Structure 1
Amino acid sequence: MTICPLFCMILSEIRSRKKVFIIRNIIFDVDGTLWDTTEVVAKAWNKAISEVGGTAAVVSAAVLKKEFGKTMKVIADDLFYDADEKTKDLLMEKCCEYEHKALEENTDNLLFADVVETIKKLSEKYRLFIVSNCQVGYIELFMKKAGVEPFIKDWECFGNTGKVKGDSIKLLVERNNLTDAVYVGDTQGDYEATQIAQIPFIFAKYGFGHVENCEREISGIKELLDL
């Protein structure tokens, strides 16, 4: 039996490709994936720290880029390691309060390039969601500032669940009966969360973090339109 050379070429091509998966639902991270608020937030947090006291911490945008994506508890332990637990709680409460106010008042564009246009276009083919390790109200504030409320079907956060991101993703997936979902994030923690939730991951390499040996990555959010 003679095997057609064309068939052999096609078979070789199929074997060389990365695993293909169907996407009907896209879940987004926020910080480092959809916008960068670190300069604004750093100023707000330093104001809160100076008011509350109890720590020698000084926050910068660079510091926050290493912390964003972690749960609020872990961030407090990292930044305010010299404070007692009661002071950490008070510091985070005041930081979040001043952060929210500063972002509400901010008039600069903090979004990454093409975010709004891409979300609008994606919503024509996919259902869109957000899961973040942020405090209550942060995702809602993002959606309001970006003007994308009509395009996001549901969202979840650490502030609501008190759970790590992987478990928050699982809750959102179960609540919306999602199949064929993918998570788009920018840190190793985001990737590990998808392992818990058992859904594929797309690495936003333009964001705050780095992910080792990631099979799927984008250099800009607009590349999602080519899924």
Structure 2
Amino acid sequence: MSKIRTDGIIFDMDGTIWDNIPVFAGSWTRAAKEMGYDVVFTPKMLMGLFGKTMTDIADASIPDSDPAKRYKTLELCEEYEMADLAVSDMDTTYPGLEDVLEDLSKRTKLYIVSNCQAGYIETYLERTGHGKYFTDFICYGDNGLGKADNIKGLVAKNNIQHPVYLGDIQGDKDACDKAGVDFIWAAYGYGDSIDSYVAKIDDISELKEIIE
């Protein structure tokens, strides 16, 4: 496979940088029960939901015709997951991640765009100390915009001429298509298949080998 030339790698979060599902399954189930729903958020269920915007997740998983209550429930899920993550000592980043970030940050700029809630990316950076590797980041919770718009906005803001996005699900690829950005599939993440990609990696460590 030929090397990928880029002046900016944009990372997804869940299923690409780390996997918090072992922590969050209990958080979300507890929040749903508190709101009166008999919903058990299994790891498999969360794998199919993560990557969507929070409103889309609520619409897909909370059995209530009242959107306000669905979204309130997801807000509580977010609150509980952040609280549980704060007290967890589990390293949920994919093995070898920091070595990859350290290596690539010496060669190109690194960024994050996610559909997560506000504060989630900051929690990752503070929890891991990886903030020194990233130039900029943005998420759905910061401005209410979906991934495609945030990718385009970050690319324009940072004047990235040859961006590439690393994500794990078809929704990430669809956003890249809309944003006009090449897509690398993190096949070790949550997605079972992707319709097309410029490269595929089965381990985060392989990213170092395909970037020029």
TM-score, normalised with respect to structure 2: 0.94
Percent identity of paired positions between Structure 1 and Structure 2: 37
Q: Which moved more, 1:185-194 or 1:139-148?
A: 139-148
Q: What is the match of residue 12 of structure 2? A: 29
Q: What is the match of residue 175 of structure 2? A: 193
Q: Which runs of 4+ in 1 moved over 6 A?
A: none
Among residues 142, 153, 161, which one is paired with 1:171 in the alignment?
153
Higher CA-based Rg: 1
Provide, for residues 85-141 of structure 1, a one-character-per-residue CA deviation record: whole Å limited to 9, x for no partner.
Answer: 121121011111111111111101111110111111111111000000000000111
How far, CA to CA, are the matches of 2:32 and 2:88 in structure 1? 20
Q: 1:1-227 alignment to 2 at 5 Å?
A: 21-53=4-36, 55-209=37-191, 210-226=193-209, 227=211
> Shift of residue 21 of structure 1?
5.0
RMSD across aligned positions (CA): 1.4
Letter paired with 2:120: Y
> Shift of residue 213 of structure 1?
3.5
Q: Residues 166 and 196 of structure 1 are in contact (CA less than 8 Å); yes or no, is this contact kept in structure 2?
A: yes
Gaps of 5+ in 2: none
Structure number with greater CO (CA < 8 Å, separation at least 6) is 2
Q: What is the match of residue 14 of structure 1? A: none
Paired residue total: 209
How far, CA to CA, are the matches of 1:26 and 1:215 in structure 2? 13
Gaps of 5+ in 1: 1-16
Q: Which moved more, 1:173-182 or 1:183-192?
A: 173-182
SS in 1 for 2:135: strand
Q: Residues 39 and 60 of structure 1 are in contact (CA less than 8 Å); yes or no, is this contact kept in structure 2?
A: no
